């Protein structure tokens, strides 16, 4: 396997770096999203009941006890409501949500870059290999056809490696992008429900 890697040429090293970065980010994102249940988890039912019953202190306590991003956003909104009522409540919820959303998308930009960069690096490696093969052809003519075709075959290893890295990274990127969007929608729904169920208080 390592011999095959070396045959791909020097461009295989940046491709290896891309794959390691991709795997590191994907593992970190998996660990981050693993504990988040859709809709805020089972505790959200008790929080919604407390909010609908007007038990703000109980709802706030349950939100602070949770570790879901939605719990933190609702806790910020409920704390604001206790202090200032409905005045600028929506803005406070939006501010809290904006603090959470970048955490969902951490690393996704880098994955997106790798999806684009890896095939280009592979193509560059192949072009470099082709140039070297034709350089051999110009010097030896057709007396060493095996060296020329072998060089072309080795050059294509870089393209294959670039595509493998890109495909693997694309699947992971899309999966965690969907997870991020699901969490964002949960926050939007939870914040809207909080605004609708709390009585106006100035």
Model pTM score: 0.81
Contact in structure between 50 and 62 (CB atoms under 8 Å): yes
Cα 31–Cα 93–Cα 69 angle in degrees, nearest 5: 15
Tell me the C-alpha to C-alpha distance, in Å, between residue 18 and each of 113, 130, 166. Answer: 10, 23, 9
The top-scoring range by mean pLDDT among 78-87, 102-111, 152-161 is 102-111
Per residue in 138-186, pLDDT (tens digit) is 666 555 555 556 567 667 888 999 999 999 999 999 999 999 999 999 8
Tell me the C-alpha to C-alpha distance, in Å, between residue 30 and each of 4, 19, 23. Answer: 30, 16, 10
């Amino acid at each position: 396997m390592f011999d095959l890697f070396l045959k791909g040429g020097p461009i295989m090293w940046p491709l290896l770096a891309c794959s390691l970065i991709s795997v590191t980010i994907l593992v970190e994102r998996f660990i981050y999203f693993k504990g988040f249940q859709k809709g805020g988890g089972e505790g959200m039912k008790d929080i919604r009941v407390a909010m609908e019953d007007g038990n703000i202190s109980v709802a706030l306590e349950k939100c602070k006890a949770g570790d879901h991003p939605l719990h933190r956003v609702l806790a910020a909104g409920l704390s604001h409501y206790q202090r200032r009522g409905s005045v600028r409540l929506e803005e406070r919820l939006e501010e809290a949500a904006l603090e959470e959303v970048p955490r969902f998308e951490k690393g996704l930009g880098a994955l997106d870059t790798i999806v684009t960069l890896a095939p280009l690096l592979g193509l560059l490696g192949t072009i470099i290999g082709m140039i070297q093969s034709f350089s051999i052809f110009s010097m030896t003519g057709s007396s060493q056809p095996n060296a020329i075709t072998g060089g072309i075959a080795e050059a294509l290893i870089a393209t294959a490696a670039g595509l493998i890295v890109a495909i693997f990274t694309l699947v992971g990127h899309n999966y965690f992008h969907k997870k991020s969007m699901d969490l964002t929608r949960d926050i939007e729904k939870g914040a809207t429900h909080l605004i609708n169920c709390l009585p106006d208080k100035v």
